[in-house]
Amino acid sequence: MNFSLRTLVHYRVLAAIGRPFDYFLVEEPWRVYEVLEKAIGRHSAELVVNILTDWLRRNGCNVTPEEVRRALSDKSAWMK
Confidence (pLDDT) at 80: 61
pTM value? Answer: 0.88
pLDDT at 44: 95
- Alpha-carbon distance 45 to 27, whole Å? 19
pLDDT, averaged in runs of 10, over the chain (80 residues): 90 96 95 96 96 96 96 87
